[in-house]
């Protein structure tokens, strides 16, 4: 029996990987809706319950929201999407689900420039 040739649409060279749409890369706790928005949620430790972290315009913002919630629930030991830039959030493990949602949204919508974090103003 002859072997069938398999063709793959998955990029294999470095150039093709660079050209790949950023949306194809997965972040922990992040998924893309059919209409293009990125959403984030996190599971509570030792539970099936989840905390909804919101909808975002980019996968990176949704991933940063997840990182903030991860820090609040598990501290510095959490597995972050951006381990080189972990969040520093006061309150940590003593926060309620609602407080975690607020902290995650603030962190996701913050703009970072060389170690300085500023939050975007809501109008």
Where exactly are the structural domains of the chain? 26-111
CATH architecture for residues 26-111:
2-Layer Sandwich (3.30)
Model confidence, pTM: 0.71
- Which pLDDT does position 122 carry in this prediction? 45
| CA nearest neighbour of 70 among 83, 56, 60 | 83
Q: How far apart are the first and last CA of the chain?
A: 67
Per residue of the chain (123 residues), what is the pLDDT tens digit? 555 544 445 455 545 444 444 445 699 999 999 999 999 999 998 999 999 999 999 999 999 999 999 999 999 988 999 999 889 888 878 899 999 999 999 999 996 534 434 444 444
């Amino acid at each position: 029996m002859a072997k069938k040739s398999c063709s793959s649409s998955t990029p294999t060279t470095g150039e093709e990987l660079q050209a790949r749409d950023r949306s194809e890369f997965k972040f922990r706790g992040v998924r893309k809706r059919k209409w293009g928005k990125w959403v984030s949620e996190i599971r509570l430790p030792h539970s099936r319950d989840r905390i909804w972290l919101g909808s975002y315009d980019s996968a990176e913002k949704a991933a940063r929201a997840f990182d903030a919630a991860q820090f609040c629930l598990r501290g510095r030991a959490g597995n972050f999407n951006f381990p080189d830039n972990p969040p520093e959030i006061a309150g940590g493990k003593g926060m309620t689900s609602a407080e975690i949602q607020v902290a995650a949204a603030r962190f996701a919508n913050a703009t970072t420039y060389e170690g300085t974090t500023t939050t975007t103003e809501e109008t």
